[in-house]
Structure 1
Amino acid sequence: MNPDDLKTILDALTHADVREFSLTTGSYALDLKRGPQAFAAPVMGGPAPTYAMPAPMPAYAPPMPAAPSAPAPATPAPSAPAAKPAETPKAEAPKADAKPAEAPKAASKGQPVKAPIVGTYYSASSPDAPAYVKVGDRVKSGQVLCIIEAMKLMNEIEAEMDGTIVEILVKNAEPVEYGQTLFMIE
């Protein structure tokens, strides 16, 4: 059996509601079983290779509301252009604000304390508890600065040096990335 014949059989069975298929010729036997398992490699050493067909994937259908919504904005055309210019400056304003906000953070003195893992930053051990540290606190090496929750595990982040907390760059319950600066210690 050549690969084109096998592809034709697989295509036909993919579109049919067939769970098992067996084909035996003089020199070749083919057993196909369709189920929740993924496509498997042939089993060697047996009388004939066995393949498992993957379950059919649902076909993608584009959302139907797209066609009716196109005529609706065309009717109130005068109000739509007025709304777009109003939104554009608002979208640009945070970008302009974000750049100056990053500049002072980069200019602050001290050593950064970076997140060793991806997770959610917590400033205290519980919502009722006071924060581990705040700006101006003197910390010692090994002192817990915060907790990062990753996959339901609470990981204590400790200071690596003695110093004073100059800046806290993350808000409570905010997601953090690996290597993101959490604190500046001077």
Structure 2
Amino acid sequence: MKPQEIQELIDFISKSGLDEVNIETSDFKIAVKKHSAAPAAPEAPRAAAPQALPHAPAPQAPAPLPAEQAAPAAPKASDESKRYKEVKSPMIGTFYRSANPDSPSFVNVGDTIKAGQTVCIIEAMKLFNEIEADFGGTIVKVLVDNASPVEYDQPLFLVDPA
């Protein structure tokens, strides 16, 4: 596998919501884990890493943000999680915002929803399940991209119940 193919695989896995993937062929074996203490490394034979030229400048790391800029982000996230309620996925499947590609989305940011209103569809094993809101409020954010895989209990929408 080429490094670009490995990166594309990692990007796909991170978007899919899977926690672990193992791939093994006659040429190589690779294990990718999300949220692991130690990074997974491919067990395939590797080519030598390119050497830096003696006259090339060393790459510089980006400067860290001052503590004043980084600190306000934490309280905002905790305030947001307390103020908003989440509509969560009741199953594993594929998330769709509309009934079909030609139809408008069930809900959009800024829409007011009522308890029992259909907010999306989740396809599981070729069955299309309408997902209804358990409470009313205003859609603040759509947390999942259309046609993306979702896990059980994964937040799909943030709703302001006020």
| TM-score (structure 1 length as normaliser) | 0.47
Residue in 1 that maps onto 2:123:
149
Map of 1:164 onto structure 2: 138
CA shift in 2, pair 1:157/1:139, >3 Å: same
* CA pair 61-144 structure 1, distance change in 2 beyond 3 A: closer
Q: Percent identity of the aligned residues?
A: 50
Higher helix share goes to which structure? Answer: 1
Gap regions ≥5 residues in structure 2: 1-24, 29-43, 63-71
Q: State the distance in 1 between where 2:151 and 2:74 align.
A: 17
| Equivalent residues, number | 107
**Aligned equivalent of 1:7:** none
Matched, 1:111 2:90: no
TM-score computed with the length of structure 2 as normaliser: 0.53
Unpaired segments of 5 or more residues in structure 1? 1-59, 90-99
The structure with the larger Rg is: 1
1 CA distance for matches of 2:100 and 2:52? 52
By relative contact order (CA 8 Å, sep 6+), the higher-ranking structure is 2
**Cα RMSD (Å) of the superposition?**
3.2
Q: Which residue of 2 is the match for residue 181 of structure 1?
A: 155
> What CA deviation, in whole Å up to 9, does each residue of 1:126-166 have, x standing for no partner?
11110000111111111100001111111111011121112
Between the aligned partners of 1:105 and 1:170, the Cα distance in structure 2 is 18
Q: Which residue of 1 aligns with 2:20?
A: none
SS at match of 1:124: coil
Cα distance change, pair 62–129 in 1 and its aligned pair in 2 (3 A): closer
| Per-residue CA distance 1:59-99 (angstroms, 9 max, x = gap) | x8555xx66x64xx37x5336xx8xx69x98xxxxxxxxxx
Q: CA deviation at 1:107?
A: 3.5
Find the aligned partners of 2:73 and 2:144 in 1 and give their Cα distance.
Answer: 13
Cα distance in 1 for residues equivalent to 2:145 and 2:73: 15
